[in-house]
Amino acid sequence: MSMNNPQIRALVDRLVVDLERIFRESTQASVQHALRAALASLGGSLAGGAAPRPAATAKRGPGRPKKAAPNGASSKKGSRKAGKRIRRSPAELEAVAHRVLDHVRKNGGQRSEVIRSSLKLGKPEWLQAVARLTEKGQIKAKGQKRATTYSAA
C-alpha cells in the first residue's frame, strides 16, 4: 500500500503525534507517582500534593531506637547527652594509663578486648591510655587490628 494519498498521510501523522503525547503523559504520571511514593516513605511531600505522614504509634522495625522518655530523661545508661564529650584531667588519664601498664606487666600477651573487659574500660579511655604508653615506649603492640597483643617493653 502506498502512502501517496495526502489524506492518509495526514491521518497517520496525527496518529503518531497523538500516540507520542499519550505516551509522554503516561510516562510522566508514572514517574510522578513513583517519586511521590518514594518521598512519602522518607516523610516528605511534593508540591503536587501532601504525602501521608506515618502514624505516631507506628511499630518500629528491628534496630530502631525507642522514643525519648516523656520527662526528658535519656534511655541510655547514665545521664550524659549523646555526642557530648567527657573531658578528663591529665591526672585521670595518667591513672588509667598506669592501670593499663600494671595489667600488661602482670598479664603480657593479651588482646585489647581482654584487657579492656578486665579493667572495665571504655574504648576512648583504652585508646588514650595505649597511645600514651606506646608513645613513651612502656608497652609494645604486636599484630594488627583485633589480633594485636600487648606486652610490657
Count of residues making up the chain: 153
> Is residue 40 one of the residues assigned to a domain?
yes
Q: Which residues contact 145 (CB under 8 A, 6 or more apart)?
A: none
Same domain, yes or no: 41 and 95: no
> Is residue 26 one of the residues assigned to a domain?
yes
> Is residue 75 one of the residues assigned to a domain?
no
Q: Where are the alpha helices (DSSP H) in 1-146?
A: 6-42, 90-106, 112-119, 123-136
The pLDDT of residue 69: 63
Q: Give the pLDDT confidence of 53-73 residue by residue, as tens digits.
A: 555 556 667 777 777 666 655
> Is residue 76 one of the residues assigned to a domain?
no
> Is residue 113 one of the residues assigned to a domain?
yes
Q: Give the pLDDT confidence of 111-142 residue by residue, as tens digits.
A: 999 999 999 999 989 999 999 999 999 999 99
- 146: containing domain: 90-152
Contact 152, 139 (CB under 8 A): yes
The pLDDT of residue 85: 79
Whole-model pTM above 0.85? no
Number of domains in the chain: 2
CB count within 10 Å of CB 148 equals 12
The pLDDT of residue 39: 84
Q: Give the pLDDT confidence of 76-124 residue by residue, as tens digits.
A: 555 556 677 788 888 999 999 999 999 999 998 999 999 999 999 999 8
Contact 152, 101 (CB under 8 A): yes
Given a cut of 70, is residue 8 above it in pLDDT? yes
The β-bridge partners of 111 are: 149
> Is residue 116 one of the residues assigned to a domain?
yes
> Is residue 61 one of the residues assigned to a domain?
no
